[in-house]
């Protein structure tokens, strides 16, 4: 799995893991207007294809912990054509997938103040004259050449999770709320 094959990487459950940079924490530069948890959506064209990355940075004064999980609480992506405003439709594989929906305490990620973390990375896949995008459990319809507006949203509603012994525990510094990335315009040739 890798660039160009439609694979995607979600930050591993082990925050210390360095699987090709997924989940790796770095120092964040926060602007004067940025407060709390901030999302950034970026794209990069490499020799292997076009990647799309979602990063969270903590511009608050204290560490925060949150659950970002592909099946339980994924980030969402809204895609629309710049020219017409038409929304690119998608399917949600969670509707047909069977999975354990237990929120585990170990799945929460802690993000210290002033640090950033890659939450999710995926690649656009060439399909004839169109591009296909998969974002976690969301599979978008093929996109024709043109300009698209992308906005990521992340909502966190969990403050507790089940520990290894099956007990429900409150997560220290659990962040709940919703954040939206600034729009990113993606031009497909």
Polymer length of the chain: 189
Parallel/antiparallel/unpaired status of strands 146-156 and 76-81: antiparallel
Provide the pLDDT confidence category of residue 9 given band limits of 50, 70 and 90: very low
Nearest to 149 by CA among 62, 87, 90: 87
Provide the pLDDT confidence category of residue 98 given band limits of 50, 70 and 90: low
Average pLDDT of the chain is: 81
- Contact (Cβ atoms closer than 8 angstroms) between residue 75 and residue 153: yes
Query: What pLDDT does residue 125 have?
Result: 84
Q: Which CATH class is domain 8-188?
A: mainly beta
Parallel/antiparallel/unpaired status of strands 146-156 and 177-180: antiparallel
Query: What pLDDT does residue 65 have?
Result: 93
Is it the case that residue 81 has pLDDT exceeding 90?
yes
The pTM of this model reads: 0.79
Nearest to 121 by CA among 34, 36, 49: 49
Query: What pLDDT does residue 171 have?
Result: 93
User: What is d(CA 56, CA 120) in angstroms, rounded to the nearest whole number?
Assistant: 10
Provide the pLDDT confidence category of residue 7 given band limits of 50, 70 and 90: very low
CA geometry: angle 30, 186, 148, nearest 5 deg: 115
**In Å, how far are 33, 38, 113, 161, 178 from 59, measured between CA atoms?**
10, 7, 6, 25, 15
**15-19, 52-56, 67-71: least confident range:** 15-19
Provide the pLDDT confidence category of residue 4 given band limits of 50, 70 and 90: very low
User: What is d(CA 66, CA 64) in angstroms, rounded to the nearest whole number?
Assistant: 7
């Amino acid at each position: 799995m890798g660039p160009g094959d439609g694979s995607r990487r979600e930050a591993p459950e082990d925050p210390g893991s360095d699987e090709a940079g997924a989940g790796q924490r770095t120092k964040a530069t926060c602007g004067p207007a940025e407060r709390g948890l901030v999302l950034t959506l970026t794209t990069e064209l490499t020799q292997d294809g076009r990647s799309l990355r979602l990063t969270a940075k903590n511009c608050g004064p204290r560490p925060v912990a949150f659950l970002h999980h592909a099946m339980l609480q994924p980030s969402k992506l809204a895609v629309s054509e710049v020219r017409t405003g038409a929304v690119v439709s998608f399917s949600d594989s969670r509707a047909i997938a069977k999975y354990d929906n237990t929120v585990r305490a170990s799945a929460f990620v802690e993000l210290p103040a002033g640090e950033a973390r890659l939450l999710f990375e995926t690649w656009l896949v060439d399909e004839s004259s169109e591009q296909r995008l998969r974002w976690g459990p969301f599979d978008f319809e093929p996109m024709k050449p043109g300009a698209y507006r992308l906005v990521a949203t992340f909502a966190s509603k969990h403050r507790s999770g089940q520990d290894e012994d099956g007990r429900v525990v409150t997560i220290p510094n659990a962040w709940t709320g919703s954040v939206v990335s600034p729009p990113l315009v993606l031009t497909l040739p």
